[in-house]
Structure 1
Amino acid sequence: MTINKIKTTALCFSLLAAMSCTDNFEDINTNPTGATTEQLEQDYNNIKSLFKPSFSRMYISDITWQYQLQQSLQADAWSGYMITPVPFGTLNNYDYALNPGWNGFAWDTAYLDVISNLYKVKQRAEGKFDQFYAWSLIIKVAQMQRITDMYGPAVYSKFGDLGAVLYDSQKDIYTQMFKDIDFAVAELTKRINENEPSAFTGTDLSAYEGSYTQWVKYANSLRLRMAMRISKVDPQLAKIEAEKAVNNPIGVFKVNSDVMKVKSPVDLNVIDVMSHSWVGLFMGADMQSILGGYGDPRIAKYWETAEVTPGQYASVRTGVTYPSGTTYAKFSQTGPRTKTGEVTWMSTAEVYFLRAEGALRGWNMGGTGKELYEAGIAASFEQNGIEGAIAYAADNTKKAMDYVDPLFPANNRPAVSKVTVAWGADKETNLEKIITQKWIATYPDGQEAWSEFRRTGYPKLFRITNNKSGGIISTELGVRRLPFAQSEVANNPKGVESGSAVLGGPDNGATRLWWDVDAPNF
């Protein structure tokens, strides 16, 4: 069994170095051919190349071991989606002994590969080529929402400052992200109304191919996602922002051609590589329990049947004892969904489920909760090339199934999710149904699924049995955040200190984020 092979990497640039480089970028990078600034600007050549890293590094889609460190060894497991059942040693995220060598990689990649380049776009385009500045803000918000939802406080408004770079609180980051979306939507909408040809064509590596209209839909859909994330901590602002997104003239995603997806630059899916080439990534127990219990046809798109149980699926629980790296090698590996070279940043199904929850909360979402919930199921079925959404959505009998470990019966557990699929009679039950279906539809983006689990407690997931956090992280609540990156502790200690001051608790995996309110959902 080939397990990667997790590499340790010494980053040659700290966050501070990246910022310093951007300050004198023009002096350092003088064009040796003698082209003037005006000549470089003729076709926006001094701006376009800066966008490319965003499309491959936000969700790392070109280097498998880097994706493994960015997300697979954290959120993909904590969301219940999939697991690498390997006894890694004394520091292993799966048993809550969080590994700092793994958990700073998402931060470092975001700032060094994405945010630093978008900062250069700001320097060159703001007030001069605002269509590009607006575009950079949408991508920046997409990246920074992921980062703040992993770590909490982060560098946002102070990026580019010299010296110690101070952190913003998560509340302030969300406030600024909403403002950045305001600017981007207004700027691109103005150009749409003026029938301006897109300047993004050829640079946009997403399925949108430069369409201003599609990028506005994505921005509005991101706003809706962010609004829902803060629904418990600031319900008034959440309602305002959600209704602003849905009721915008261009609106949010409504058909599957709106799905935001990007093709891998090396035409592979890193999740498939981990599962098949490395034989090191397998179906999570929660996936089998919920999809198997519902008789959900998407299971065959997401997973393959297992050699250990021919013709059937076999899954692995997170946070149990893994005897060796090959013990579970004959369990269910990833299926057709992750064999394409495409990475989905946001789906139409997710947007319908967000609207369904908004309607449940009494917001104006352009439909009833039931209508939007069933539309979300239909969109997910269509996205996966499956029929039967109407009958599936009406089923009020099937529930999640008990978990059975074919090798170790001591790991067996009764199902923890108890809801059926069909729309119910009370708000809390319907919220659980919405989030459970959104969890299914959002696969394989474990980061988004983990965030929604922390916010709502749904779907109900199996708990680990091998908690080695030393009493820091609750087995019942699970990991709530990632500690600040070690690169920052070493190179920007005053920044980390400023982040800790607004974190609301110790810099460990048990401290809740600002939006992660310990309160009822309604």
Structure 2
Amino acid sequence: MKTNNIKKSLICFGLLALVGCTDNFDQVNSNPDGFTYEETTQDFNHINGPFKTMFDNVMVNVPGWKYQVANDLSANNWGGYTAAPGFDGANNLSYAISDNWNIWCWEAAYAQVMANFYKVERESKGKYDEFYALALIIKVQTLHKMADAWGPIVYSKFGTTDATIAYDSQEEVYGFMFKDLDFAVEELTKRIDAGEKSSFTNIDRSTYKGSYARWVIYANSLRLRLAMRIVKVSPALAKAEAEKAMSQKFGVMKFASDSFIVTKNVSQHPLNVASGEYNDSRMSADMESIMGGYDDPRMKVYFKESMQFPGQYKGIRTGGIMGDKTLHQEFSNFGKIINEDKQVVWLNAAEIYFLRAEGALRGWNMGGDAATLYKAGINASFDQLSTGGAADYIANNVKMAKDYIDPVASFNNGVAVNKVTVAWDETASNEVKLQKIITQKWIANFPDGYEAWSDHRRTGYPKLLPILNNQSAGLISTELGVRRMPFVSTEKDGNPGGVATGLAKLGGPDTGGTRTWWDVDAPNF
């Protein structure tokens, strides 16, 4: 890890308040080379400019070290995807939550994405609403991760002139996000129906290439993800929002090519920095146990064979006892999708099929039965990765997760915990069917750790090996794992009144063991 970057002073939330209360907006955003405001508005350049930074920071694409501390040393580990050789101290991996790491996720969302969203909103809302619609979708994609990680966050009050910037509860944030998606979908659909040519072509950094219709499909698919997140705490709203996504005229993602993938100007996948430059990230023991047990053909796309144990895929136990870094450094590094494809995926078609499968299992109108949609999700994942063998894989009713063996440190060994086969069994209980759905969704979503972590908290699946080195001083259960991130120090210093409103709406202590609104201790069915 590049520790000197972590020691730099942060952009505190006060900067965002400054952006929000700036009366001389045109002067603050004037071009230093002397172009007039009128000249910068030609071809919508005054609106297009902020989008690059937004695209780069939704998944914290750049720089790579920031991705490591904002994503990999938190959600990627807690969601069971990655582990770090040699990280034995008191840190996120041992549940001693590190503000110095987690603060960068907050910074990327607010100082990078939301500060630039605010610029777009000021220049486009009510005048060029096609750009405002696009910015709203990116806003929801960004802030749903924040709400899922922290619980209460700043949403409706962002950019206000208030001395204290109040937090919204997680429940309130979800309501706002559904409304923002409503506006975006209605606005873009109206323009499609009118035969309007897209204005996004020059700013869209994804494989969508500015297509209004594909952005609507993405927004509908994102709505479906959000709907499922709240199913245990607000089942009626979850069902209504999920069926709204399905019934909208453009529908949700159906093909691998519908997946939202950022490719433009992506020089490398950000995970490649942590794994290649720093040797700080490797395949997890959970991935070895589950994918290895299935003999999953996607493993060779996700990972490389261990250099230390040729012919084997070897993972590291998350929260294990590592010892010297060199002991595990030559375990399985990341493969083609990280090192060659350089694609940053925000949402993929496979996930949408698994969401629909779960919805069908719950009796929602998802355009198919659970079994058919489950199999379609696996096929979509194999298609996205250009991996053969899907039919045989789907039919497997014998293979399941295998025990984990650490060949250099046996005290990290663990008995397999996620014991389900791949093949759909119509006679199985809904609980077993859900475990199969979420396990396959987990595999298909790699390396989106925030989604994996959220699903694990919501459903308990896939079952993950418990950590061996809990240093949370009793604040976080080894069995349940990290439930949220504590509020960051820059907020406590720069917006203490706002943090107080967040604490009031959290309903528990500001620790990593407190459950958020949708994370309820209740059965899945």
TM-score scaled by structure 1?
A: 0.97
Q: What does 1:412-451 correspond to in 2, within 5 Å?
A: 412-424=413-425, 425-451=428-454
What is the aligned partner in structure 2 of residue 495 from structure 1? 498
Give the superposition deviation at 1:25: 2.6
Give the superposition deviation at 1:279: 2.1
2:402 counterpart of 1:401 = yes
- Is residue 108–residue 485 contact of structure 1 (8 Å, CA) maintained in 2? no
Q: What does 1:476-515 correspond to in 2, within 5 Å?
A: 476-515=479-518
Which secondary structure state, in structure 2, belongs to the residue aligned with residue 236 of structure 1?
A: helix
What is the aligned partner in structure 2 of residue 180 from structure 1? 180
> How far, CA to CA, are the matches of 2:50 and 2:29 in structure 1?
14
Q: Deviations over 1:429-464 (max 9, x none)?
A: 000000000000000111110010000000000001
Q: What does 1:240-389 correspond to in 2, within 5 Å?
A: 240-263=240-263, 265-339=265-339, 340-389=341-390
> How far, CA to CA, are the matches of 2:77 and 2:370 in structure 1?
30
What is the aligned partner in structure 1 of residue 160 from structure 2? 161
- Is residue 261–residue 345 contact of structure 2 (8 Å, CA) maintained in 1? yes
Q: Deviations over 1:269-318 (max 9, x none)?
A: 12123222322211100000000101111111111111222111111101
What is the aligned partner in structure 2 of residue 469 from structure 1? 472
> How far, CA to CA, are the matches of 1:87 and 1:376 in structure 2?
35
> How far, CA to CA, are the matches of 1:78 and 1:379 in structure 2?
25
Give the superposition deviation at 1:5: 3.8
Q: Deviations over 1:72-95 (max 9, x none)?
A: 100111111111122363x31111
Give the superposition deviation at 1:222: 0.3
> How far, CA to CA, are the matches of 2:368 and 2:174 in structure 1?
27
> How far, CA to CA, are the matches of 1:264 and 1:274 in structure 2?
21
- Is residue 30–residue 36 contact of structure 2 (8 Å, CA) maintained in 1? no
1:437 partner amino acid: Q
Q: What does 1:50-129 correspond to in 2, within 5 Å?
A: 50-87=50-87, 89=89, 91-129=90-128
- Is residue 19–residue 116 contact of structure 1 (8 Å, CA) maintained in 2? no
> How far, CA to CA, are the matches of 2:276 and 2:132 in structure 1?
40
2:139 counterpart of 1:137 = no
> How far, CA to CA, are the matches of 1:484 and 1:18 in structure 2?
17
> How far, CA to CA, are the matches of 1:64 and 1:264 in structure 2?
16
Change (3 A) 1:112 1:9: farther
> How far, CA to CA, are the matches of 1:278 and 1:409 in structure 2?
25
> How far, CA to CA, are the matches of 1:68 and 1:34 in structure 2?
38
> How far, CA to CA, are the matches of 2:465 and 2:244 in structure 1?
37
1:18 partner amino acid: L
Which secondary structure state, in structure 1, belongs to the residue aligned with residue 261 of structure 2?
A: strand
Change (3 A) 1:507 1:257: same
Q: Deviations over 1:320-367 (max 9, x none)?
A: 211122221121111111112210000000000000000000000000
2:224 counterpart of 1:224 = yes
Which secondary structure state, in structure 2, belongs to the residue aligned with residue 141 of structure 1?
A: helix
Which secondary structure state, in structure 2, belongs to the residue aligned with residue 261 of structure 1?
A: strand
2:368 partner amino acid: G
> How far, CA to CA, are the matches of 2:273 and 2:15 in structure 1?
33
- Is residue 105–residue 485 contact of structure 1 (8 Å, CA) maintained in 2? no
Which secondary structure state, in structure 2, belongs to the residue aligned with residue 192 of structure 1?
A: helix
> How far, CA to CA, are the matches of 2:324 and 2:99 in structure 1?
23
1:130 partner amino acid: D
Change (3 A) 1:456 1:315: same
Larger CA deviation: 225-234 vs 301-310: 301-310
Give the superposition deviation at 1:37: 4.2
Give the superposition deviation at 1:230: 0.3
Larger CA deviation: 178-187 vs 415-424: 415-424
Give the superposition deviation at 1:11: 4.1
- Is residue 10–residue 490 contact of structure 2 (8 Å, CA) maintained in 1? no
Larger CA deviation: 94-103 vs 219-228: 94-103
What number of residue pairs does the alignment pair up? 519
> How far, CA to CA, are the matches of 1:166 and 1:236 in structure 2?
28
Give the superposition deviation at 1:32: 5.8
Give the superposition deviation at 1:33: 6.5
- Is residue 350–residue 438 contact of structure 1 (8 Å, CA) maintained in 2? yes
> How far, CA to CA, are the matches of 2:515 and 2:264 in structure 1?
34
> How far, CA to CA, are the matches of 1:40 and 1:264 in structure 2?
23
Q: Deviations over 1:132-156 (max 9, x none)?
A: 1111100000000011111110000
Q: Deviations over 1:61-82 (max 9, x none)?
A: 2311110111010011111111
Q: 447, 456, 463: which one pairs with 2:459?
A: 456
1:351 partner amino acid: I
Larger CA deviation: 382-391 vs 355-364: 382-391
> How far, CA to CA, are the matches of 2:387 and 2:221 in structure 1?
24
Q: Deviations over 1:110-146 (max 9, x none)?
A: 1000011111111111111110111110000000001
> How far, CA to CA, are the matches of 1:9 and 1:212 in structure 2?
42
- Is residue 382–residue 390 contact of structure 2 (8 Å, CA) maintained in 1? yes
What is the aligned partner in structure 1 of residue 411 from structure 2? 410
What is the aligned partner in structure 2 of residue 150 from structure 1? 149
Which secondary structure state, in structure 1, belongs to the residue aligned with residue 486 of structure 2?
A: coil
- Is residue 108–residue 487 contact of structure 1 (8 Å, CA) maintained in 2? no
Which secondary structure state, in structure 2, belongs to the residue aligned with residue 403 of structure 1?
A: coil
Task: Provide structure 2 residue ranges, at least 5 long, that are not aligned to the other structure.
Answer: none
Which secondary structure state, in structure 1, belongs to the residue aligned with residue 262 of structure 2?
A: strand
2:15 partner amino acid: A
Give the superposition deviation at 1:465: 1.2
> How far, CA to CA, are the matches of 1:127 and 1:311 in structure 2?
59
Change (3 A) 1:33 1:276: closer
- Is residue 308–residue 314 contact of structure 1 (8 Å, CA) maintained in 2? no
- Is residue 62–residue 268 contact of structure 1 (8 Å, CA) maintained in 2? no
Task: Provide structure 1 residue ranges, at least 5 long, that are not aligned to the other structure.
Answer: none
Give the superposition deviation at 1:473: 0.3
Change (3 A) 1:134 1:307: same
What is the aligned partner in structure 1 of residue 16 from structure 2? 18
> How far, CA to CA, are the matches of 2:152 and 2:363 in structure 1?
30
- Is residue 417–residue 461 contact of structure 1 (8 Å, CA) maintained in 2? yes
